[in-house]
């Protein structure tokens, strides 16, 4: 009986000890769980705060999206604008200058063409005068050849000298006609090719040759007048 009571007492003590152990473990586990839950909450709050700090507000984002005002950039843009304006003005000035030059060239060409026409008329008139005087001189020379005794030798020498001068000028006049023909052909070619500088050069050359031909004709007429004076 005593042994039975002792056995029951030992079992009760063991049960009480086991109950205290499990209660202590349960309490510790509960405290540990609470501690873990609080730590997780604090970690989540810290993470959310960090995200808020990293993501700026919309107003801040708009401000960050706009470039900051830079006086140097503003100055560069102003310089570029002024340079573009200067280029436009220079182009306009070049166009106006080209138009003025073209107008002046047309006026010069018109005046040169007018001078060439005037020279052609003068050359025609001088040639007609020369031909009339030449015809008269030939008739007088023919008459003198029929009556050589009526013409002194010294006059004959002077007549031959005048005839030599007239012949030289006649040859020069014929050569100048060839130069005018060459320049006229070149002028037509340049006109077909719309070569304004070339046409101007041809017109100037034609005018210069015409001036030389006029001078030759005048010299020939002077020589003919002297010849006629000797023959009469």
8 Å CB contact between 211 and 119:
yes
- The answer as to whether 85 is a domain residue is no
- The answer as to whether 54 is a domain residue is no
Domain total of the chain: 1
- The answer as to whether 35 is a domain residue is no
- The answer as to whether 9 is a domain residue is no
Please report, in tens digits, the pLDDT of each residue of the chain (232 residues total): 544 444 545 454 555 454 444 444 444 444 444 444 455 556 566 555 654 555 455 545 455 555 565 667 777 888 888 888 888 888 888 888 878 777 777 788 889 889 999 999 999 999 999 999 999 999 988 888 888 777 788 888 888 899 999 999 999 998 888 888 899 999 899 889 988 888 889 999 999 999 999 999 999 999 999 999 988 8
Tell me 149's DSSP state: G
8 Å CB contact between 204 and 157:
no
- The answer as to whether 224 is a domain residue is yes
pTM: 0.58
Count of positions (residues) in the chain: 232
| Residue 166 domain boundaries | 114-231
- The answer as to whether 158 is a domain residue is yes
């Amino acid at each position: 009986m005593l042994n039975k009571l002792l056995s029951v007492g030992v079992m009760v003590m063991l049960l009480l000890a086991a109950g205290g152990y499990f209660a202590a473990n349960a309490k510790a586990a509960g405290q540990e769980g609470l501690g873990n839950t609080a730590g997780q909450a604090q970690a989540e709050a810290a993470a959310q705060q960090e995200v808020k700090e990293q993501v700026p507000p919309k107003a801040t984002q708009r401000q960050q999206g706009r470039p900051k005002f830079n006086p140097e950039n503003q100055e560069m843009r102003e310089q570029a604008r002024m340079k573009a304006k200067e280029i436009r003005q220079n182009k306009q000035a070049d166009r106006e200058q080209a138009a003025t030059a073209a107008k002046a060239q047309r006026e010069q060409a018109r005046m040169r063409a007018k001078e060439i026409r005037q020279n052609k008329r003068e050359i025609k008139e001088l040639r007609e005068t020369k031909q009339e005087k030449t015809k008269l001189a030939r008739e007088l020379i023919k008459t003198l050849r029929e009556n050589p005794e009526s013409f002194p030798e010294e006059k004959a020498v002077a007549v031959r000298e005048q005839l030599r001068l007239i012949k030289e000028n006649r040859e020069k006049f014929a050569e100048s006609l060839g130069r005018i023909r060459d320049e006229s052909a070149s002028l037509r070619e340049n006109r077909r090719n719309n070569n304004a500088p070339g046409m101007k050069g041809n017109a100037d050359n034609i005018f210069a040759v015409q001036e030389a031909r006029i001078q030759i004709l005048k010299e020939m007429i002077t020589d003919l007048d002297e010849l006629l004076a000797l023959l009469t």
